[in-house]
Amino acid sequence: MHDNFSKLNSEQKNAVTCTDGPVMIIAGPGSGKTRVITERIAYLIQLGIPAQNILALTFTNKAAKEMKSRIHRITENANAFSIWMGTFHSIFSKILRKEAHRIKYTQYFTIYDNDDSVKIIRRIIKDLNLDKDIYNAKSVFARISFMKNNLIDSQKYNNENELIKQDLINKREEFKTIYEKYCNECHKSNAMDFDDLLIKTHELFKQNKNILEHYQSIFKYILIDEYQDTNKAQDTIIKQIGRQHQNVCIVGDDSQSIYSFRGANINNMLNFKMFYTNVKEFKLEQNYRSTKNIVNAANSLIAKNKNKIEKTIFTENKNGTKIKILKYINDREEGDQISDIISKNIVKNNTKPSKYAVLYRTNSQSKVIEDGLRKRGINYKIFGGLSFYQRKEIKDVMAYLKLIVNNNDNESLIRIINYPTRGIGPTTLDRIRKISEQEGQSIWKTLNSPLIEDINVQKKTRSRLTDFVHMMNQLLQLTDNNVFEIIEELIALTEIIHKLKEDPTDENINRVNNIGELVNSMKMFSERKNNNTLLDFINEVSLDETKDNEKTSEDYVSLMTIHQSKGLEFPHVYIVGLETGLFPSQKSIQEPKLVEEERRLFYVAITRAINEVVISHATNRFRFGTITQSEKSFFIDEINPLFIEELTYNRGTDFLHNKKQEWKKRKTPPQLKNRNLRKITTGMSHIMNLNINQKIIHNIFGEGTIKKIDNSNGNQKITVLFVKNGEKVLLTKFAKFKIIS
């Protein structure tokens, strides 16, 4: 009855057609999990299930986009487009806008990004006169975020003895106060951070039975991709909705769990069977994506992880070529040469740029690749990173726009009250904030009221304040105009561009251009038929959902972090920067658990490839304004040497025309095998002469006392209680520390 079924194997078919009741698919990369989800959606619609009753969730916007286009490919049914599909955050934000009044927000609430959140927390810490080194704003925020994602609010925190103990050890007695103040500040500003989008949804459903029932009756069929990366908040909301109809289909792979830093927990997936009744479980073992060599290499890598569900992953695809390991003298050379190889292969094999992807651990690595590709005139697109909308000048303009929609947004007001500079400095601002705090109202309310007369400032400053209020009031009138008119008026009234042009440094010219681009995109936005209000615009920007300019060509080399590449596939994959300290990250190296997660990340990277994987590393890298030396990542040596070949590059020769001579095989695989095995064993038997209660000083965690020493399997682990950072498990092989007693 359905053409595409011919393209499914029998297990996949079963998973697709088993539409009633809870279904769980745990399977390896490239085994068709996403395909099963998309086919299932098409199948449900074909069965006559109204599209509005289907909820399909993903973690990233890119995954959502990918799934939409896959559905587009397999069904002509126009209905398919009215399913609820998107990231958790975007779907929940829609629900929250609609129901905001029930949880004491208005539908115009602002969404704060991480920078906004950290700034607010920094301000709170300063207001409380706390030590900014002990209360590092970023780590306090990370901790708040972690708790929110685990549904621990500031009240529940009181019962979390373990967490309280950690904070005491870290000398952060006031953590709870900050947490409370932060939540208050957001609420008073009618603003939610990313995590609030989850926990407020949870709260909404918990407190309003009828609302929950309403959404249960809408979302009769729920499908979620990459379930291994759900956190507690997300898992709980799905349970709230899903328990009614039990038609929940989850798909995931524990070996691809790479988001534990934002609270993801694979136990959510593993416990699925306990919450729902009669869970049907499907296993997909055949990889349809990659060559045998790639599958084998990936298998040999992930075998090094102790923590995993055993799975067999095999493929019937052709053998393919070995993974190439390339070594360069520095990062510039790496970027340049990788670009060169891609550029030449595009010509040589007559392939499209879109068949190539360059993947990396950190966003900052994109720079050198970008330069190389641009130099050669190759189309490329960088995903993520410091996006356009995170640039200072754009955030400044956006802050005005957010204020127009939600004038209680303190954070945005503080951002722009003196931008462009208009003589309202920190002291004045502090006074206004104090009064607002006393009155229990937003800063704007204070400014826009007779209270402005009570602020203890000089005449001059007061008139600056009233000028500002006057200007803002003019802007606020524009709320319902079209977004293009708003931005034009905003630029005219604030003189932002005018002031930047007065001092035409390169940087400022760039800023003017960027603002120009923002104006352009708002112009395009304003020409939409619907969903074209300022609130819509801000919402899309905040959730990073901005539709790409249709104008840009589709044919480009993709540059992205491995995190973003999850769920995607490319014929040719280049993984750059495989250096210990970068990948795995310096911050992970010390804790075995984190190393395992990084290893999974590498696993994800390799398994994105259809035909070819090329891995590179550089001996010198420009980081932190200085050149740092780095060694080849030990992850490379964990791949069975049978599946890789290491090559070293001779500068100044031409790769394309005379491959054999340019790329000299540095080691033949058998030699390599022995060499590496020896290396790993010597590396492992790294046992230092240490004693319990010895004091050490660590390069990152500072002073601490050794509490436990574990010499089993030659890989010495020590448990250290740090004065400032609490207890950590370190591998002495990697940890940088000195013994001080």
Partner DNA sequence: GAACAACCTCTTTTT
Partner DNA sequence: GAGGTTGTTC
Catalytic positions are: 33-34, 225-226, 256, 608
One symbol per residue from 560 to 579: x for binding DNA (CB under 7 A), - otherwise; what is it?
xx-xx---------------
One symbol per residue from 404 to 443: x for binding DNA (CB under 7 A), - otherwise; what is it?
--------------x--xxxxxxxx---------------
Q: Cα(632)–Cα(579) distance, rounded to whole angstroms?
A: 5
Binds 261: which of ligand ATP, DNA, none (CB < 5-8 Å by kind): DNA
Length of the chain: 741
User: Can you tell me which of 11, 23, 26, 29 binds ligand ATP, judged by CB under 6 A?
Assistant: 29
Contacts of 284 (CB under 8 A, 6+ apart): 9, 11, 12, 15, 25, 27, 28, 31, 32, 33, 36
Q: Cα(133)–Cα(515) distance, rounded to whole angstroms?
A: 35
User: Can you tell me which of 5, 146, 157, 261 binds DNA, judged by CB under 7 A?
Assistant: 261
Contacts of 719 (CB under 8 A, 6+ apart): 706, 707, 708, 709, 710, 727, 728, 729, 730
User: Can you tell me which of 567, 577, 584, 641 binds ligand ATP, judged by CB under 6 A?
Assistant: 567
CB of 345 to DNA, least distance (A): 26
- The candidate with the shortest Cα–Cα distance to 365, out of 627, 577, 563, is 577
User: Can you tell me which of 22, 24, 26, 34 binds ligand ATP, judged by CB under 6 A?
Assistant: 34
Question: Scanning residues 635 to 674, which ones bind DNA (CB under 7 A)?
Answer: none
Under rule CB under 6 A, residue 188 binds ligand ATP:
no
Which residue type sits at 629? Q
User: Can you tell me which of 253, 254, 409, 612 binds ligand ATP, judged by CB under 6 A?
Assistant: 253
User: Can you tell me which of 15, 33, 241, 320 binds ligand ATP, judged by CB under 6 A?
Assistant: 33
Contacts of 569 (CB under 8 A, 6+ apart): 30, 289, 608, 609, 610
Contact 559, 570 (CB under 8 A): no
Query: Among residues 358 and 644, whose Cβ is nearest to DNA?
Result: 358
One symbol per residue from 74 to 103: x for binding DNA (CB under 7 A), - otherwise; what is it?
-------------xxxx-------------
User: Can you tell me which of 594, 680, 721, 723 binds DNA, judged by CB under 7 A?
Assistant: 594
User: Can you tell me which of 35, 40, 355, 621 binds ligand ATP, judged by CB under 6 A?
Assistant: 35
- The gap from C-alpha 434 to its chain's centroid, in whole angstroms, comes to 36
* 592 burial type by CB count under 10 A (0-12 exposed, 13-18 middle, 19+ buried): middle
Q: Is 587 helix (H, G, I), strand (E, B) or coil?
A: helix
CB of 101 to DNA, least distance (A): 23
CB of 100 to ligand ATP, least distance (A): 35
CB of 310 to ligand ATP, least distance (A): 17
- The candidate with the shortest Cα–Cα distance to 542, out of 115, 98, 203, 224, is 115
Binds 588: which of ligand ATP, DNA, none (CB < 5-8 Å by kind): DNA
Question: Scanning residues 174 to 233, which ones bind DNA (CB under 7 A)?
Answer: 194-195
Query: Among residues 21 and 425, whose Cβ is nearest to DNA?
Result: 425
CB of 687 to DNA, least distance (A): 26
Contact 226, 252 (CB under 8 A): yes
Q: Cα(353)–Cα(571) distance, rounded to whole angstroms?
A: 10
Beta strands in 83-148 (DSSP E): 84-87, 110-112
Q: Cα(387)–Cα(540) distance, rounded to whole angstroms?
A: 13
User: Can you tell me which of 30, 385, 641, 704 binds ligand ATP, judged by CB under 6 A?
Assistant: 30
Q: Determine which helix (DSSP H) or strand (DSSP E) holds 326, and give its type and residue range.
A: strand 323-330
Under rule CB under 7 A, residue 119 binds DNA:
yes
Binds 653: which of ligand ATP, DNA, none (CB < 5-8 Å by kind): none
CB of 468 to DNA, least distance (A): 12
Query: Among residues 424 and 487, whose Cβ is nearest to DNA?
Result: 424
User: Can you tell me which of 622, 663, 721, 726 binds DNA, judged by CB under 7 A?
Assistant: 622
Contacts of 706 (CB under 8 A, 6+ apart): 690, 691, 692, 693, 694, 695, 696, 718, 719, 720
Query: Among residues 179 and 282, whose Cβ is nearest to ligand ATP?
Result: 282
Question: Scanning residues 594 to 623, which ones bind ligand ATP (CB under 6 A)?
Answer: 607
- The candidate with the shortest Cα–Cα distance to 562, out of 612, 515, 616, 600, is 600
Helix, strand, coil share (%) of the chain residues, nearest 5: 50, 15, 30
Tokens, residue 218:
């809408």
Asked if residue 450 has a cis previous peptide bond (ω within 30° of 0), the answer is: no
Give me the residue label for tokens 């007693």: 741
Which residue number is nearest to ligand ATP in terms of Cβ? 32
Query: Among residues 427 and 474, whose Cβ is nearest to DNA?
Result: 427
Binds 569: which of ligand ATP, DNA, none (CB < 5-8 Å by kind): ligand ATP
Binds 119: which of DNA, ligand ATP, none (CB < 5-8 Å by kind): DNA
Q: Cα(105)–Cα(196) distance, rounded to whole angstroms?
A: 12
CB of 670 to DNA, least distance (A): 34
Contacts of 450 (CB under 8 A, 6+ apart): none
Binds 35: which of DNA, ligand ATP, none (CB < 5-8 Å by kind): ligand ATP
Which residue type sits at 47? L
CB of 170 to DNA, least distance (A): 15
Question: Scanning residues 415 to 454, which ones bind ligand ATP (CB under 6 A)?
Answer: none
User: Can you tell me which of 53, 136, 265, 286 binds DNA, judged by CB under 7 A?
Assistant: 136
Give me the residue label for tokens 């038997």: 685
Helices (H), 406-505: 410-416, 426-439, 443-447, 459-476, 483-494, 496-502
CB of 456 to DNA, least distance (A): 7
User: Can you tell me which of 384, 571, 683, 726 binds DNA, judged by CB under 7 A?
Assistant: 384
Q: Cα(428)–Cα(418) distance, rounded to whole angstroms?
A: 10
* 148 burial type by CB count under 10 A (0-12 exposed, 13-18 middle, 19+ buried): buried
Under rule CB under 7 A, residue 391 binds DNA:
yes
CB of 73 to ligand ATP, least distance (A): 10
Question: Scanning residues 264 to 323, which ones bind ligand ATP (CB under 6 A)?
Answer: 288-289
Q: How many residues bind DNA (CB under 7 A)?
A: 59
Contacts of 143 (CB under 8 A, 6+ apart): 175
Under rule CB under 7 A, residue 262 binds DNA:
yes
Q: Which residues bind ligand ATP (CB under 6 A)?
A: 7-9, 12, 27, 29-35, 253, 256, 288-289, 567, 569, 607
**Which residues of this protein are in contact with DNA, per CB under 7 A?**
59-62, 87-90, 113-114, 119, 122, 126, 132-133, 136, 138, 194-195, 258-259, 261-262, 361-364, 367, 384, 391-392, 418, 421-428, 456-458, 461, 543-544, 560-561, 563-564, 585, 587-588, 594, 601, 622-625
